[in-house]
Amino acid sequence: MRQDNPAPYPFVKPLRCAAAAATLTIALLLAACTTPPPKPQLTAADAADIDRIAAYLNSIPRFEARFVQFGSFGQSSGVILLDRPAGDMRIDYPAADGRTIVIANGEVQIVDRNRDSTTTMAVSRTPLGMLLTPTINLSGAVTVEGLARLPGMIQITLRKTDQPSQGSLTLTLADQPLRLIAVSVIDARQQTLTMHLADIDVAPKLTPDMFQLKWTPDVGQESRATSITH
């Protein structure tokens, strides 16, 4: 089952970020601490929307999607696979880009074949850990830093309650009905990365071996990144 997302839109800035915010790749790097803003005062309408977003996210435990990436690390594209209950994620960039990111068994592995390097760290030390859980709860361990309502869209910014200096995660969703269209991360160094999602398949055929570095797509990464049709 595929969700048809609208064409990429002019990205709306997250509530406290002057740059288009961001997701995956090296939003995994750690750096100097930053001081988060005060916890916002949420209205009853905000709480209702937060509950609605959490219910939507929990309704799509797995998906496959194409993405176009922007931010501090340049522009690229590719395919993302997610198996949230298992805590697994994989990002395949085009072959010319030389990168693959795999999250499995509580670890993030970033492979840069052009530089012949691999970076490994615990997913618990990144903002992504807020979403890679069997059940998403947008309270307690997760603080809602901000909620913005935009024409036809709603945007929520999240931060770890006990480790706010690790960075923030912003989700942008089309509204009525809710539909995830962008994921953004600001890392501890204030570097930004945004993924605009398209052609989301919410019932993909995923297997555990897909979240191992040795696994390769059935087609070349470059064609895989462009072969999913609307």
- Start-to-end Cα distance in the chain: 12
Q: What is the sign, positive or negative, of the torsion defined by CA atoms of 175, 177, 181, 187?
A: positive
Is residue 26 a contact partner of residue 91, using CB atoms and an 8 Å limit?
A: no
Task: Quote the pLDDT of residue 25.
Answer: 41
Long-range contacts of residues 188-191, Cβ cutoff 8 Å, at least 24 apart: 188/29, 188/30, 188/31, 188/32, 188/33, 188/34, 189/29, 189/31, 189/32, 190/34, 191/22, 191/26, 191/27, 191/29, 191/71, 191/72, 191/73
How confident is the prediction along the chain (230 residues), in pLDDT tens digits per residue? 666 554 444 333 333 333 333 334 434 333 333 455 556 678 999 999 999 999 999 999 999 999 999 988 788 999 999 999 999 999 999 877 888 999 999 999 999 888 888 889 888 888 888 989 999 999 999 999 999 999 999 999 999 999 898 899 999 999 999 999 999 999 888 889 899 999 999 999 999 999 998 887 653 444 343 333 32
Report the pLDDT value the prediction gives residue 188, as an integer from 0 to 100.
81
185 DSSP β-pair partners: 169, 193
| Other beta carbons less than 10 A from residue 58's beta carbon | 15
Q: What pLDDT is attached to residue 5?
A: 55
The answer to whether the beta carbons of residues 87 and 104 sit under 8 Å apart is yes
Q: What is the pLDDT of residue 117?
A: 87
The per-residue pLDDT for 30 is 34
Q: What is the pLDDT of residue 220?
A: 42
Measured between alpha carbons, how far is 48 from 14 in angstroms, rounded to an integer? 20
Q: Rounded to whole angstroms, how far apart are CA atoms 114 and 108?
A: 19
Tokens linked to 180? 């995830």
CATH C-level class of 2-8+20-226: mainly beta
The whole-number pLDDT of residue 148 equals 95
pLDDT at 129: 86
Estimate the share of the chain in helix, then strand, then coil, as percent rounded to the nearest 5: 15, 40, 45
Q: What is the pLDDT of residue 62?
A: 96
CB 190 within 8 A of CB 22: no
- Ordered by start, the domain boundaries in the chain are 2-8+20-226
